[in-house]
Each structure stands twice: as C-alpha cells, then as structure tokens.
C-alpha cells in the first residue's frame, strides 16, 4: 500500500538522485526546473507549500507502507479552493526498475483520495506528454478522461512535445471508487 507524506528537505537527496538526466527532469516538471536539479531549487519549490488549509501547492513523497521506503513523488498544484479544482503535477515512480509494476497507479489513487475525499475537490486535472504511453495508460486506468491535446507545446532539442490534458470530476471519482453518486 502507498501512503502520501509531505515532501521535506530530508527528501531532497533521493529526488535529486532519481532525476539524473535533463530529459527526465523535463518530462517530470516541464519548464518548472532546469537541469541539474539542486537542493536550492527544491527549497524554492517547497516555499509556501504544504499548509493543508492555505497552500495552493501540496507536495508529497509516496511511501510503501510494507517496506517503509520512499518510492515516488507527486504534487497537487494550482489548488483553487473557490472553484474546488487542482492539478496533479510532477508524478514520478523513483526507481526506474520498479516502473510498470502498479506503483504509479497506487500513487495516483492516493492523490485522488486526498483531492476528492480530503479536500472535497470537484475537478482534478493533469498533463502528460503524448509519448508517455505508460503514464497515459496509468491515468486512464485510474479513471481520467482525455480532454484534448496541446500540440507542440514544448521544444526539446530539435523536436516538439505535445501535451495531453486529462481530468476527472468528483462524480466520476465517487462512482468509480466508492459506488456513490454526487448531486450538484
């Protein structure tokens, strides 16, 4: 089982070790960070984050409850309490050898629970580069719907990357995960 715990400065070194090349950093964070990832950049990332009642950014590490090991990272950003919406960002299964084994799905389901059950959001969205087929499969398996594709949104070397936008609404989450319906 995966639980989400707040990401802290004590977690910086592990995340820096995981994000060890420029392409992975761009795939993980878009233009938010420049390679190499450093503790100073992560300190900036944490600034004003993780106040559950007030922050518009919640940053988590994903912990495997059986081993006690940190296995991933995920954040909830652009948290708009008035509109009851947020964007899932920077999702990562840390150890590349562990990808494709259901850890990403467990991390995403834990984040959906935080968003829809703890924060009582109406809408959660995410963006995934269209070449990230494992990520797209994971998000669809978790119940996300494709909203559209932003074509050639990011230039990387001599190519452009397109971003697939996906979302889930609270009634979709409730039906899929609790069997309940939501009346508006």
**Owner of token pair 């639980």:** 3
Q: What band does 184 get if pLDDT is binned at 50, 70 and 90?
A: low
List pLDDT tens digits, range 101-123.
Answer: 999 999 999 999 999 999 999 99
* Residue ranges per structural domain of the chain: 2-177
pTM passes above 0.75: yes
pLDDT > 70? residue 147: yes
Region 42-71 average pLDDT: 97
Q: Of the candidates 131, 130, 124, 163, which has an alpha carbon nearest to the alpha carbon of residue 145?
A: 124
The whole-chain average pLDDT of the chain stands at 96
**Neighbour-count burial for 125-140, b at 16+ CB within 10 Å, e otherwise:** bbbbbbeeeebbebbe
Report the share of the chain in percent with pLDDT over 70: 99
Q: Does domain 2-177 have CATH number 3.20.10.10?
A: no
Q: What band does 59 get if pLDDT is binned at 50, 70 and 90?
A: very high
């Amino acid at each position: 089982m995966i639980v989400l715990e707040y990401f802290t400065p004590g977690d910086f070194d592990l995340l820096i070790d995981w994000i060890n090349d420029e392409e992975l950093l761009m795939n993980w964070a878009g233009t938010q960070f420049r390679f190499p990832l450093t503790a100073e950049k992560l300190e900036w990332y944490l600034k004003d984050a993780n106040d559950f009642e007030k922050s518009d950014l919640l940053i988590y590490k994903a912990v495997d409850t059986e081993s006690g090991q940190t296995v991933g990272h995920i954040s909830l950003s652009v948290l708009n309490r008035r509109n009851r919406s947020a964007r899932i960002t920077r999702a990562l299964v840390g150890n590349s050898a562990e990808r494709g084994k259901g850890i990403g799905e467990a991390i995403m389901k834990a984040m959906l629970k935080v968003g829809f059950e703890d924060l009582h959001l109406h809408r959660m969205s995410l963006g995934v580069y269209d070449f990230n087929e494992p990520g797209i499969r994971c998000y669809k398996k978790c119940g996300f719907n494709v909203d559209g594709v932003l074509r050639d949104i990011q230039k990387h070397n001599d190519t452009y990357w397109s971003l697939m936008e996906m979302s889930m609404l609270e009634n979709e989450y409730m039906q899929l995960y609790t069997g309940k319906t939501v009346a508006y």
